[in-house]
């Protein structure tokens, strides 16, 4: 589409007139407010239809699993921003969300697209998922690349969040092809890559959501929505018990200057 030219001037999400507001074909006031919970509404907004009970259960579980994980970089950015500009909650929230890339939180999308690439490769070669998994791992090994969705710097013995999500997927009958591919990755990766690589939460979330019927192109929405809730908690606490400047001070202490005219380094 050329810049400035609208080839398809339509939206299927919402409309309104003087008497009503319609969202995805439902009257907002008569059919949705007070009649649907937020997870159902999120699924309806994104996917265009209300979720089945097992779909809602997976979305709820994934949102809870990823909403909070302590003073990760995105939280530190948000809290330090609010400390510097206490009137700007929106700026602090944005600072936290903008820091969610391919390493933190956005890794969910990376892992999901990797799972989908393996599925597509298997489909193109007769549907053998296990062969596609092994071939993909060997290719990553040759490139000395990481395996999306596997490994964790803190939970080296196994990510408890991932383990619980996989259990729930089994219990609700959601586990299907993507969960199967993820489990094959967890099975073969340690031997091929030569180190322990347990399934992590960034691998479990997209496997569950894709098997539940969520779009691969909307995977990033799950950690964004979830972490927004966690950021809200941190920003409220920041207004009550500020640690933003403490975080900044400790960063200043932890990092030494080694530029022009720096003092000689001591020790190893």
Distance of alpha carbon 7 from alpha carbon 10, whole angstroms: 9
What pLDDT, on the 0 to 100 scale, is given for residue 153?
Answer: 66
Closest to 158 measured CA to CA, from 201, 198, 208, 111: 198
What pLDDT, on the 0 to 100 scale, is given for residue 202?
Answer: 94
Cβ partners under 8 Å of residue 162, min gap 6: 198, 199, 200, 201, 203, 204
Measured in whole angstroms, the distance separating CA 117 from the mean position of its chain's CA atoms is 18
Look at the block and give the residue holding tokens 């302590």. 70
Cβ partners under 8 Å of residue 225, min gap 6: 42, 63
pTM: 0.91
Q: Domains in the chain, ordered, with CATH?
A: 21-51 (no CATH), 107-218 (1.10.230.10)
What pLDDT, on the 0 to 100 scale, is given for residue 146?
Answer: 95
Closest to 201 measured CA to CA, from 8, 86, 69: 69
What pLDDT, on the 0 to 100 scale, is given for residue 250?
Answer: 92
What pLDDT, on the 0 to 100 scale, is given for residue 167?
Answer: 98
Look at the block and give the residue holding tokens 């596997």. 150
What's the average pLDDT block by block, 10 residues per block, for the chain (268 residues)? 72 96 98 97 98 98 94 93 95 92 82 98 94 98 96 77 97 98 97 94 97 97 96 97 92 90 76
Q: By three-state DSSP, how is residue 38 classified?
A: helix
What pLDDT, on the 0 to 100 scale, is given for residue 193?
Answer: 96
Q: Are 217 and 57 in contact (CB under 8 A)?
A: no
């Amino acid at each position: 589409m050329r810049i400035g030219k609208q080839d398809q001037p339509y939206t299927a999400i919402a409309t309104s007139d003087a008497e009503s507001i319609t969202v995805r074909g439902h009257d907002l006031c008569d059919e949705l407010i007070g009649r649907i919970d937020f997870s159902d509404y999120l699924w309806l907004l994104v996917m265009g239809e209300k979720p089945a009970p097992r779909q809602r259960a997976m979305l709820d579980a994934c949102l809870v699993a990823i909403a909070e994980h302590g003073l990760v970089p995105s939280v530190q950015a948000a809290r330090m921003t609010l400390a510097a500009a206490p009137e700007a909650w929106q700026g602090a929230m944005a600072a936290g969300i903008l820091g969610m890339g391919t390493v933190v939180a956005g890794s969910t999308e990376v892992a999901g697209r990797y799972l989908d690439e393996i599925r597509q490769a298997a489909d193109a070669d007769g549907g053998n998922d296990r062969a596609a998994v092994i071939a993909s791992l060997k290719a990553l090994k040759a490139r000395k690349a990481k395996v999306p969705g596997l490994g964790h710097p803190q939970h080296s013995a196994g990510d408890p969040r991932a383990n619980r999500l996989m259990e729930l997927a089994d219990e609700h009958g959601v586990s299907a092809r993507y969960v199967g591919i993820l489990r094959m990755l967890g099975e073969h990766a340690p031997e091929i890559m030569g180190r322990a690589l347990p399934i992590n939460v960034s691998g479990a979330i997209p496997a569950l959501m894709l098997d539940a019927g969520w779009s691969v192109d909307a995977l990033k929405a799950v950690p964004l929505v979830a972490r927004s809730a966690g950021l809200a908690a941190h920003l409220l606490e920041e207004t009550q018990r500020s640690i933003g400047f403490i975080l900044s001070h400790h960063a200043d202490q932890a990092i030494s200057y080694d530029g022009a005219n720096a003092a000689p380094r001591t020790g190893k």
